[in-house]
Amino acid sequence: MRLFVAIDLPAEIKANIGALRGGIPDARWIAAENAHVTLAFIGEVQGPMMMDISLALGRITYPAFDLNIEGVGVFGSNKRPRLLWAGVRPTPEICLLHQKIVTAIESTGARVDDRRFRPHVTLARVHKSPYEKVRHFLIDHALFKAPALSVENFSLFSSHLASSGAIYHEEVSFDLAAPVTS
């Protein structure tokens, strides 16, 4: 089973992100209902390992925090983009949560994708799309901003690949602590 840890987004923000779809030929758009912020990609694991990972993630204590989704960009080079994304402001809070999650997962013996953490919401795969159309999309949506989001939990998801695209299933949700107020 393929696993990843992510922040699921509320329907309002998924709708905002879904409104960005279109205008790029040959783009493979991610279904708006699948929009999320990946905190760690684990990949294929056997069933018993999923239980170990769940238990390790359940021991994380961390306060709730705010998240801002703004702007758009690409992974890959500017001339050969592969992935189109909406940006997540990389605050210390999300970066530290990511690190705690990676440490918890690795404590089970599982491995986590080791690419540098750059929080984002994947919009589309665009590696076969005309560069000019991608460039115009980036210019047209440079000021995109979704409403601020209070992150109160994160989840362990399984991912099943189908001909229509990936199908995600929330396996376990983990609550964050109420933020400390002075």
Q: Which CATH number goes with the domain that contains 86?
A: 3.90.1140.10
Q: Tell me, what's the pLDDT at 58? A: 96
pLDDT tops 80 at residue 6: yes
Q: Write down the pLDDT at residue 88.
A: 97
Is residue 35 pLDDT above 70, yes or no? yes
Query: 120 lies in which domain range?
Result: 2-175
Residue 47 pLDDT: 81
The pLDDT tens digits of the residues spanning 56-98 come to 999 999 999 999 999 999 999 877 899 999 999 999 999 999 9
Q: What is the tally of structural domains in the chain?
A: 1
User: Does 107 fall in a domain?
Assistant: yes
Distances (CA, A) of 50 to 12, 47, 54, 152: 30, 5, 6, 22
160 is a catalytic site residue: no
Residue 115 lies in a domain: yes
Which is the catalytic residue, given 98, 120, 141, 160? 120
Q: Does residue 180 sit within a domain?
A: no
Say whether pLDDT at 165 is over 80.
no
Residue 127 annotated to the active site: no
**Identified catalytic residue from 36, 98, 127, 169:** 36
